Structure 1
């Protein structure tokens, strides 16, 4: 099994995503505080043996990298995250299409109800891989405080 972790770094929280490259599916996704994210990555690595870690090259990325290296997480790659938050809004509506009359409104004016950090992590991984992943209906965006 070839598993990748994608991280959207931020000042107070990170979007995290665990995906299986063989099936092309997201396994787990969510948002974690800066205090929790490295513990979660370590846990995923213990449970699954991670192949690569992808990090957005924007805000706080060096802090994230240093914290991961202290926890013996290596094979880290950077991805340009310019424009990823805006693209995540559109991707959100592809995964969870709006209901009723809302679906007829332009996607540019719709704001997703959920935190987008996990979707940004998805966008970063898809940019790195150069293909789209499948988000199974059973995978919900979690919050790890």
Structure 2
């Protein structure tokens, strides 16, 4: 298998996503505090044979890079994250389509009920690989303390 990690860096939290390139599926996703995200990345790096780690080039990307390098994680790649949060709103509704009458409303006015950081991490990975991943029903967005 060929695993990638994607990180959406933020000021207080990071969106994290683990995906298998060969199956085209998301394996795990969540939101971690900035001071603990590197522990989750290191854990995934030990458990899986990670090929690359994709990081959004915006907010706190240098801090993210430094924290990962402290844990001897060096296979880092950057991707432009301009507009990724807005695009994540639309991607959210592709993965979990609205039901009933809500589906008839324009998506521009719908706000997803979830925090979008993990979906932004998905967008970053999809942009980097120019590939659309499948989000299995069993994969929930976790919020790690």
> What range is the shorter-chain TM-score in?
over 0.9
Aligned pairs for 1:1-145 within 5 A? 1-145=1-145
Q: Which runs of 5+ in 1 are unaligned?
A: none
CA RMSD of aligned residues (A): 0.5
Give the structure-1-normalised TM-score.
Answer: 0.99
Deviation string for 1:2-39 (max 9, x for gaps)? 10000000000000000000101000001000111000
Q: Which runs of 4+ in 1 moved over 4 A?
A: none
Distance 2:33 2:138 in 1: 23
Q: Which runs of 5+ in 2 are unaligned?
A: none
SS in 2 for 1:28: strand
Deviation string for 1:67-94 (max 9, x for gaps)? 0011011110000000000000000000
SS in 1 for 2:93: helix
Distance 1:46 1:77 in 2: 19
Distance 2:49 2:68 in 1: 15
Give the structure-2-normalised TM-score.
Answer: 0.99
The count of residues paired between Structure 1 and Structure 2 equals 145
